[in-house]
Structure 1
Amino acid sequence: MLELRPILSALMRSKVSLVLIGLQIALTLAIVCNSLFIISERAALMDRPSGINEADTFTIGSIGFGADFDLRASMAEDLAMLRGLPGIVDAAPINSLPLSDGGWSQGASLTKEQKSPTAPTAMYFVDEHGLNTLGARLVAGRNFRSDEIGSRTRQSQGWPPGVILSKPLAEKLWPGVDPIGKSFYLDTEAAPSTVIGIVDPLQAPWVHSKRLIDNSTVVPEMIGDGRFTRYVLRSEPGRRDAMMKLAEAKMAELNPDRIVRDAKSVEKIRADGYSEDRAMMIILGVVIASLLIITALGIVGMASFWVTQRTKQIGTRRALGATRGAILRHFLAENFVITSFGLVAGTLLAYGFNAWLIQHYETARMPWYYVPAGCLTLWVLGQIAVLGPARRASRVAPAMATRSV
């Protein structure tokens, strides 16, 4: 059995090395645990379902420039042509899409007297083809009828009498109650709107908005003002890229008095929306790997230095009967003690760092198991790192005890 007192006595003769390695281990534990937690949060964020068919869906924008350009007439022609293209399942006008990071938001209130809305909501303006084109899942109620589709301009006041809500928004407005037929206000100065359908899920465009991300309202109106319009199209499976090129060419051919632009798949929109999160995950991954490598090298360097310093002492122990296994176990135990001191400090530092992140960046509380898992990882890493110098120490011959330094 190894005794702890001789190990501690040997370590106390190299206090500076002990403190430096312990501090390095503590910092590594704190940074690695919190970085892994941030990576897991970002991965969960990026994995949230948008509520639409992303694989087969794309958007195209159109902006007119001719003196006689008529937006509403152009939209009618475009939609008739696009919906008739072989390979296109459906098409609809839309102001924005989930994941696109831009759009229209509004406050949803239950009464006219409210000073602040009950919940914020993203607004999607579509016609009766909108839900089918998006591939959104209607879980209650019904879709819009063609006679319910209106047109919104800059001068429009109020909101349509019937709208469709995302399920999370409906639950925030009426917890535990069937929302179909319920009325609420998108404008407390205007008439209320009634819920005629529920979709689940349907993300808002702003992927980093915690309050807004799941709250969406689908409105039966087409934007009929200005010169720009955006269409969303869903192709047959596997034909998206080909249909995106075809639709763009057909639109340019149909009306030369406009510019057809911004053809983009929803998968590309998702990639762009989460580009910063992906970059952060890569950077944190590199930081984690670098810290673990640097910590392992520090342990190797410290152990190698101590083996060199104690060569005569090790030879003496061998001459007195210590086996190679005993020398190996001594250095492994010594490193285990050093690592444990560092991990105690690192545990406090890890939770303290997480508390600081919660206070200043509104992150979630790190689950308890991250730190124990980090400690186990660093214990294993420390033992692997010291194994080389420890084996070199165990091969010191007893004859080294007779050599002068």
Structure 2
Amino acid sequence: MRKFLISAEQILTFACLMIYSGTPLDAFLTDGYTVKQGDRIIFRLLFTFTYIFSLFLITLRWKKVAYVFSRDKFIWILIGLCALSSFWSLDPDTTSRRAIALVGTSIFGLYLASRYTINQQLKLCAYMLGITAVMCFVFAILMPKYGFSGGLDGNTLRGIFPTKNVLGKRFVLSGAIFFFLAMTSKENRLFLWFGYIISGLLVLLSKSTTSLGNFIIITGAFLIYYRILNLKYKVMIPIVTFLLTLGISFYVWFISYADTILGSVGKDTTLTGRAELWPAVLQMIAKKPWLGYGYGAFWGEKGESSIIVQTVEWNAPTAHNGFLDLCLALGLLGVLIFLIGLVINFLRGIYLIRWNQTSENLWLLVYLTYIIFSNLTETTLLDQNSLEWILYVSAILSSKLSTRTNLGVA
């Protein structure tokens, strides 16, 4: 009976991860970023199921959950600020509703961290993303009407996702997970390497330049963390300094010759409108710099996004930058709280790898790197009903829980 209950819990956890990652419903019920009003109830019911499922299970092991919950205060302070922002939000109802959804999403991340080890979490994600990859190819071959997107994206693969950019973003994360497990696990390595290759292929087929760049960066970052951080300081510091200098030099070079580089491959040199969008967003941030417009309120129907839409002359659904969107929502205060938590956990991950290298600490660094780079051109920070936010919460809390275990605390 116990084995049955454990298996049932794992199957339900798997299903919840699929809901947060993206299901075929995303392709059937969405047109790009748009969800028909009548169809929203389906998504809300699915996410509500995940909230109830995780809330029920954490109550069964509340002592361990209470300890895990207390391991990082910055996550919960930030979520609390989201809820409080309803008092100054442009649209208090939307802010309150989305803050509740964010709490539910974070609770699922808390559940993962308290129930599974990092390796167990990532293996569940790997199987889920493997099935997702198969479904993307099935849609492309058997249902091209849904598997490919038209319009501004052209005839590009989107699989079971709303847009090609969501497909690219999802399989950058998939590639990071498969590569990490392939490098740190001894079991099923052939399957894991195959998953990594398929993830890279889907990123290429998405034709998302930023996703391809992030895929390469995350792979390189893992190799740096895996090899270099364990070297002696006399060797590590010069190598890290060299790589940092090389990276900055490449970035400056790329910006200087963006017209030539992007033009040569037929890309818009304004990064698909972002170069026009970001200055307009910064102007709106300057109007309410300290506390922002309220969590989830700026881009809503009652928000002030119409001013930006008129300026850039295209219907931007977000700022296409997680840090700018965070500033729009919670102001510089919210950005400061997030960055403090991010930097502390990043430095802590480096210290723990040098002290006692474990997969949990290594994954923490890899995932924080993914969060930073993926949010330079897209928005996943503090996003309700987001797999990225769930894994952010679980990575930080699981790493801190593993430290307790390594120190011999029961």
Q: TM-score, normalised by structure 2?
A: 0.20
Larger Rg: 1
Please identify which structure carries the higher helix content. Answer: 2
Q: TM-score, normalised by structure 1?
A: 0.20
Work out which structure has the larger RCO, using CA pairs closer than 8 Å and 6 or more positions apart in sequence.
1
